[in-house]
């Protein structure tokens, strides 16, 4: 299989000590991969879990991927997205000069995700 | 206005140092309140931001609310939801013996929220 024109999509999450924490992120990765069969979809973590974002992107680059989109799977934009993620991306771009690395907004800011979360909150009143 | 039969709905989030972090949670609270006008909807935070969950519930109880639902606005279930939140709820129940306090699952585990997040991830490939 020729990966040279394949896109990489990295779902970038915080990480946690409890292994159970990763379960919804793994389901999200699997659902995204199923909907985007032409892309290579992977999870990466800021801390406490592996793989890291630099390691994940390096593995994609080693397989010939030259375009990677990063989706921050965070609800809000705090220091992790305002400072840590840009610093990581600076390092990745320096390590892989030919890479097109693109970062989109935090998943929790998306209007569709916001609508689904509001629906869940309202439904919780009926529980 | 008689609040004695009103329900309380607390959106419980982590909190962060950056004030900007709270914006999507505030939008979520406002959207939820608009869809649930008969409930009192409030935000509360685990750390770094106020009000706390105990203070938020105490204020609701002081206004005559005796049924409170807590929605953990967290993507995954780590130590904060497995240990910190149950401990907070134990303290709240001890402080307010007549209160019916109900906690639902993490928002990030909801199938509807998962679908919306997957849609956002797939759409990010087109950015």
CATH for B7-125? 3.40.50.1400
Nearest chain A residue to B32 by CA: give it.
Answer: A118
pLDDT number for residue B5? 61
Q: How far is A94 from chain B (nearest CA, A)?
A: 22
Tokens of B57: 């519930």
Instruction: Tell if the CB–CB gap between A20 and B82 is shorter than 8 Å.
Output: yes
pLDDT number for residue B126? 87
Nearest chain A residue to B68 by CA: give it.
Answer: A125
What is A55-91 written as a DSSP string? HHHHHHHHTT--EEEEEE--SS-SHIIIIIHHHHHHH
CA within 13 Å, CB half, B48? 12
- Over 80: is that where the pLDDT of A108 sits? yes
Determine whether B84 is exposed, middle or buried from the number of CB atoms within 10 Å of its CB (0-12, 13-18, 19+).
Answer: middle
pLDDT tens figures, B7-39: 999 999 999 999 989 999 999 999 999 999 999
- Over 60: is that where the pLDDT of A4 sits? no
* Dihedral sign from CA coordinates of A119, A123, A124, B3: positive
The CA–CA distances, whole Å, from B23 to A93, A104, B28, B77, B89 equal 30, 17, 9, 22, 25
Instruction: Tell if the CB–CB gap between A115 and B116 is shorter than 8 Å.
Output: yes
Report how far residue A22's alpha carbon sits from residue A15's, in angstroms, rounded to the nearest whole number: 7
pLDDT tens figures, A13-72: 999 999 989 999 999 999 999 999 999 999 999 999 999 999 999 999 999 999 999 999
Q: Tell me the average pLDDT across A81-108.
A: 97
Instruction: Tell if the CB–CB gap between B78 and A117 is shorter than 8 Å.
Output: no
Q: Give the residue from B8, B67, B12, B18 showing the smallest Cα distance to B44.
A: B12
Domain extent listing, chain A: 7-125
- Residue A7: list chain B partners with CB under 8 A: 125
Q: Tell me the average pLDDT across B42-59.
A: 97
- Residue B74: list chain A partners with CB under 8 A: 75
Instruction: Tell if the CB–CB gap between A104 and B124 is shorter than 8 Å.
Output: yes
pLDDT number for residue A5? 61
- Find out whether B32 and B94 touch, Cβ atoms under 8 Å: no
For chain B, what is the mean pLDDT?
Answer: 94
pTM score of the predicted model: 0.94
Q: How far is A117 from chain B (nearest CA, A)?
A: 6
């Amino acid at each position: 299989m020729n990966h040279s024109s394949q896109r990489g999509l990295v779902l970038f999450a915080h990480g946690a000590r409890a292994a159970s924490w990763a379960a919804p992120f793994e389901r999200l990765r699997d659902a995204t991969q199923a909907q985007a069969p032409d892309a290579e979809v992977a999870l990466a973590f800021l801390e406490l879990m592996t793989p890291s974002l630099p390691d994940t992107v390096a593995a994609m680059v080693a397989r010939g991927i030259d375009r990677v989109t990063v989706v921050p799977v965070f609800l809000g934009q705090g220091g992790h997205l305002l400072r840590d993620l840009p610093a990581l991306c600076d390092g990745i771009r320096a390590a892989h000069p030919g890479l097109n690395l693109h970062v989109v907004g935090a998943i929790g800011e998306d209007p569709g995700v916001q609508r689904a979360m509001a629906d869940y909150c309202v439904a919780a009143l009926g529980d």
